[in-house]
Structure 1
Amino acid sequence: MATALENQNESTNENPDEETSEDAVLVDRFPEALRLSRFTFFSVCILSLAFLLFSSLPLWHTDIWGHLAYGKLIWETGSIPSFEPLVPLASGVPFIDTAWLSQLLGFQTFQQFGVAGIKFLYAAAITACLGLLLYRVQKRTDSFIWSLICIAGFLLCDWKQLGIVRPQLAGLLCFVMLFTLLNARQWRKSYWYLIPGLFVVWANLHGSFPVGLGLIGCFLAGRAFDVGRKSGVWKAMFQDSVTRRLFILLELAAVAVLVNPYGLQLYTEVFSFSSNPNLADLIEWNPLTLRMYQGKAAAVLALFLVIACRFTPRRIATTEVLLLVGLGTAALWSSRMIIWWAPVAAYYLALHGAAIWGQKRKRMTDQDEEHEIHYAGKWTIVTVGMIWICFAITPIGSQILHGKQVDFAKSVSNATPIGAVAYLNEKKINGQVFNSMELGDYLLWDGPQDLSVFANSHVHLLPHEVWDHYLRVINLSSDAEELLQRYGVNTVVLDLPRRNNLMRRLERDGEWRVGYKDGRSVVLLRNKPIQ
């Protein structure tokens, strides 16, 4: 008995690494094409958590519901309307729908999966942007830490913009994808098809495609300038293969945009859009200031970027300067443009930061360290597991896998006028109402069919006189009651507590009474309705 135990122990001691060897054999037998690295696993963890975070955020009550209403109309009629179809006070105004594909996609997703589907599209768009930036920074720096710093800077700077669910997020995804392709170390032949195809999709998803054309233009001008300056002969830029490639690519992208329902007219619409006088009264179209959250975040990001550029050993290309100054100036002119500047600034901050840190480490160790990336099947298994777990606990995952329906009231923002709209439907209120512009989109989506909304987030479609009257009423002008009578308004729907003063003034005049009120909104009814 003792001899048998000793033999067993000796057998064990003779091969102490037997278990390790077996593990190695198992890993080696895992299909090589399916093996992933540790970097991939940690990247997926970060992106999965980001997807989970944005899936859990409540849907903001502006924009999204109006776009879903337009998508519903396009689906039901089978065509894109030529004139504004939903707001009667804007009837007859030419309507060029620059986001028709996003609206149609959003409505179909809502039809299939409800609010969980919209949350999925929202989270997926932002997560895809983060993934593209994470991947490109890692490829350029071989640093997971600086990849995280890049996406953190992007999120912090664009947090306010990313909080609103609208087709602009589709445009942002196209922008980040184009930016990462143009920053690839090696040009691939597939890009000749991929980038023009991207612009075809972009031009139908959102009207922000000119930013993409400007992006290629900055790469073209920056490359041409650097080549001419380095060679000392400006004619050399015309002989540079990269410059010629970018020039042809810009032409192809500009032509690809024409694959849309409006052709050349789409260019006219998007370039004239920002000059609409109604937009000047919206905060997000005002100049960027330090009083705004995004102004403070942009200032901090810009400060770190300036410091990094001061000490970086990396060459600063003209393209970087053109992009940062050009998009930064646009953001100062209109705070809404910060959404395009943030990913570019965060990307270059990560590149210069990694260069500074790499130089410092090299001086400290006085040697170059080569980091070999190890691929193993175990990382594939845990990566797939992480994706599955995070997806399963998201609203869309719970609905698909477990049949658990999402609570609508808990999935939307506290400012969504759910109770007020339910009251309007219960009382079958119709005709012209006056409403806070911020509530107009949800009224269009879920309000009574015969209700005439005064204004929604598409304020650029309202005649300027109507928009001026809206502002006079909402800002407690002395002729507010007269204007309400002029439009035949018997019902007023306001958001609270923002419009408390207007509610009190209407009540005080004795012409109105409260029909419904909660912490989100109030419905005021005229005591003697106008016939």
Structure 2
Amino acid sequence: MLTTRRLFTAILFLAVFVMSAREIQDPDFWWHLRTGQFILETQTIPHSDIYSFTRAGAPWIAHEWLSEVFIYALYSLAGFPALILIFSAIITLAFAFVYARCEGKPYSAAFVLLFAALATAPTWGVRPQMISLLLTSVFLFVLDTSVIASEPFDFAQGKLRERSNLHFPTWGLLLRFAPRNDAFGIWLLVPLTVLWVNLHSGYALGIVVIAVYWFGELVRVIASPERAKQSPNFNLGIASSQESLLAMTNTSSLVTLSIILFVTIAVVPLNPNGAMMYTYPFDTLTSRAMQTYIQEWFSPDFHLNEFQPFAFLLLATFASFAVARRRAAPTELFLLAGFAYAALRSARNIPLFAIIAAPILAANVWEWITTRGWNKVFASRAETSRLLAAINWLILILILGVSVARVFAVISNQTLVERAKFPAAAVDFIAQNKLNAPLYNAYGWGGYLIWRRYPDARVFIDGRADVYGDKFIEEFLRTYRGEGDWRARLDKYDVKLILVEPDAPLLTPLALDAQWKKIYADENAVIYQKNK
């Protein structure tokens, strides 16, 4: 029977799914798609650059190779609709695991989850990063359900608080056959790490999360004996069974986490790039060009509306500790502080903070509600009448109809968005006129050119910043801005064609240069050709 609580939960996840369904606009999507095609058709994974004429043969760590195969397989199966729907499902599933860790389900938890979803929304799309978001959420869920470190130690009472209401139907079936606190399920993190390291370099997040849980558990193990010594039974050697179980469980959890941490680190080389994947995630973090020029790596600009939900989530989470009596576990505090710093440093880390903060905020909000007795209103278990169930079904069907229409509109709009966001008509012109000479292209269009023109033509640059390096990217940008001897930099690579946006700074000196002539222009792109 469709109760109001179930209806509310269904509406929540329908909302997340519909919000996450969006047209493909990520400039890197296109070279991911082409790489997946290349791997499937050639049965090889590239280890050097195959797409550009400026860095041809340069080392390339294709760390997302399995995600790219997955993306192209979906595209081959059912085109853009399959990609949009499946990645919306991936995002929704990520938040389902977050929701499973929240207290106050379904009502107060739902509002917290929606704010967390809104905070992450600017980063959503058909991107391998969404798979990392899902796996990070899974890691947090597994650790919370399998490791006692997720439960705050009540120093005032000298005992563990009750476990949070963790609920996820499929996982519950698995856990039913295992003791609650024996770390059953945590061993799944090992094969998941192997899978993750082949999907995306974000695998390092999983190891970082395990390490934080390990450190949080270490703090608990160190702190707990001090409290045990104050027990009247401690010196008599007759500690209660609860106290003994507490000490044993703490130590056991720490040992288990130590082993899991060691094994997950050890299996990282099980990928086509081998041990290089140990350092690759940190190489991108230290790239000066990526930090300076790629907008996603910038700190969030709170003057922009898209970052307001994150600002609210950040402030609300830390402020909630002032009104809640609940004492956070060391692990919670370490995760919250670390990922808050990461999110403030780079907007691309906001989703990670959101999926960590949401259960903490939900727990604090629910604690505040229960101390005032308001939880009794939400906890009503009155039997749902047939009439109310029928009304609930009617509401759900209506909302489902609106949701389907909204998602269908997104899918139908994909071609229009592609032609508005990318130089589709300009590339058509290039192909029709067989203009295969070396071409200087805008940074955000390299991926699209790879999809449309490879292998007939190569690009000057694309979104694989790690392949091009800081020096080359800075040189590219000086040329794009028309600074210094931009002609010499173009001549260095024998560039004969230029494809940039209508407002590109380079167009100003180009228009005054007799060696170059404009051969194409529309509202999205301009093409210049060098005179023979």
Would the TM-score normalized by the shorter structure come out above 0.5?
A: yes
Paired residue for 1:263, among 271, 274, 278? 274
Paired residue for 2:369, among 357, 375, 382? 357
Equivalent residue for 1:418?
424
Whether 1:520 and 2:524 are equivalent positions in the alignment is yes
SS of the aligned residue for 1:372 comes to: coil
Cα distance in structure 1, aligned partners of 2:2 and 2:250 = 42
Equivalent residue for 2:310?
298
Equivalent residue for 1:225?
219
CA positional deviation for 1:218 = 1.3
Equivalent residue for 1:18?
none
Paired residue for 1:149, among 84, 100, 111? 111
Whether the 8 Å contact between 2:187 and 2:260 is mirrored in structure 1 is: no
Cα distance in structure 1, aligned partners of 2:378 and 2:460 = 65
Compared CA separation, residues 368 and 337, structure 1 to 2 (3 A): closer
Whether 1:121 and 2:91 are equivalent positions in the alignment is no
Whether 1:252 and 2:278 are equivalent positions in the alignment is no
Paired residue for 1:467, among 457, 462, 473? 473
CA positional deviation for 1:522 = 1.8
| Residue deviations 1:240-285 (CA, integer Å, cap 9, x gap) | 2222232233233323434322332211222323223332332322
TM-score for both structures, normalised by structure 2: 0.81
- Structure 1 window deviating more from structure 2 (210-219 vs 231-240): it is 231-240
CA positional deviation for 1:189 = 6.3
Superposition pairs of residues 248-397 of structure 1, within 5 angstroms: 248-281=259-292, 282-291=294-303, 296-361=308-373, 371-372=380-381, 389=401, 393=405
Compared CA separation, residues 177 and 239, structure 1 to 2 (3 A): closer
Compared CA separation, residues 233 and 136, structure 1 to 2 (3 A): closer
Q: Which amino acid aligns with 1:58?
A: E
Unaligned residue ranges in structure 2 (runs of 5+): 146-162, 164-179, 230-246
Whether the 8 Å contact between 1:52 and 1:394 is mirrored in structure 2 is: yes
CA positional deviation for 1:376 = 9.6
- Structure 1 window deviating more from structure 2 (205-214 vs 279-288): it is 279-288
CA positional deviation for 1:187 = 4.7
Cα distance in structure 2, aligned partners of 1:428 and 1:241 = 67
Cα distance in structure 1, aligned partners of 2:329 and 2:513 = 64
| Residue deviations 1:144-203 (CA, integer Å, cap 9, x gap) | 2222222222223222222x4321111011001211222234457651443222222211
Superposition pairs of residues 455-494 of structure 1, within 5 angstroms: 455-494=461-500
CA positional deviation for 1:327 = 1.2
Tell me the number of residue pairs that the alignment of Structure 1 and Structure 2 aligns.
478
Superposition pairs of residues 156-235 of structure 1, within 5 angstroms: 156-162=118-124, 164-184=125-145, 185=163, 186-187=180-181, 191-232=185-226
Compared CA separation, residues 382 and 134, structure 1 to 2 (3 A): farther
Unaligned residue ranges in structure 1 (runs of 5+): 1-34, 400-404
Identity of aligned residues (%): 23
Whether the 8 Å contact between 1:431 and 1:452 is mirrored in structure 2 is: no
CA positional deviation for 1:54 = 2.9
CA positional deviation for 1:208 = 0.6
Whether the 8 Å contact between 1:66 and 1:442 is mirrored in structure 2 is: yes
Whether the 8 Å contact between 2:33 and 2:72 is mirrored in structure 1 is: yes
SS of the aligned residue for 1:513 comes to: strand
Cα distance in structure 1, aligned partners of 2:93 and 2:117 = 13
Whether the 8 Å contact between 2:439 and 2:496 is mirrored in structure 1 is: yes
Whether 1:47 and 2:9 are equivalent positions in the alignment is no
| Residue deviations 1:403-461 (CA, integer Å, cap 9, x gap) | xx956423537322211111111111113111111011001001364322111111120
Compared CA separation, residues 293 and 355, structure 1 to 2 (3 A): same
| Residue deviations 1:474-514 (CA, integer Å, cap 9, x gap) | 122031123222221111111244x2x32233112233333
Cα distance in structure 1, aligned partners of 2:80 and 2:478 = 35
Compared CA separation, residues 424 and 135, structure 1 to 2 (3 A): same
Whether the 8 Å contact between 1:157 and 1:297 is mirrored in structure 2 is: yes
Whether 1:130 and 2:95 are equivalent positions in the alignment is yes
Whether the 8 Å contact between 1:153 and 1:301 is mirrored in structure 2 is: yes
Cα distance in structure 2, aligned partners of 1:166 and 1:237 = 43
Specify the structure having the higher radius of gyration (Cα). Answer: 1
Cα distance in structure 1, aligned partners of 2:53 and 2:403 = 42
SS of the aligned residue for 1:69 comes to: helix
Cα distance in structure 1, aligned partners of 2:449 and 2:256 = 49
Q: Which amino acid aligns with 1:66?
A: W
Equivalent residue for 2:25?
60
CA positional deviation for 1:387 = 9.6
Q: Which amino acid aligns with 1:113?
A: A
Whether the 8 Å contact between 2:8 and 2:107 is mirrored in structure 1 is: no
Whether 1:85 and 2:91 are equivalent positions in the alignment is no
Equivalent residue for 1:11?
none
Q: Which amino acid aligns with 2:218?
A: A
Compared CA separation, residues 458 and 114, structure 1 to 2 (3 A): same
Compared CA separation, residues 464 and 385, structure 1 to 2 (3 A): same
Cα distance in structure 1, aligned partners of 2:323 and 2:427 = 57
CA positional deviation for 1:295 = 5.5
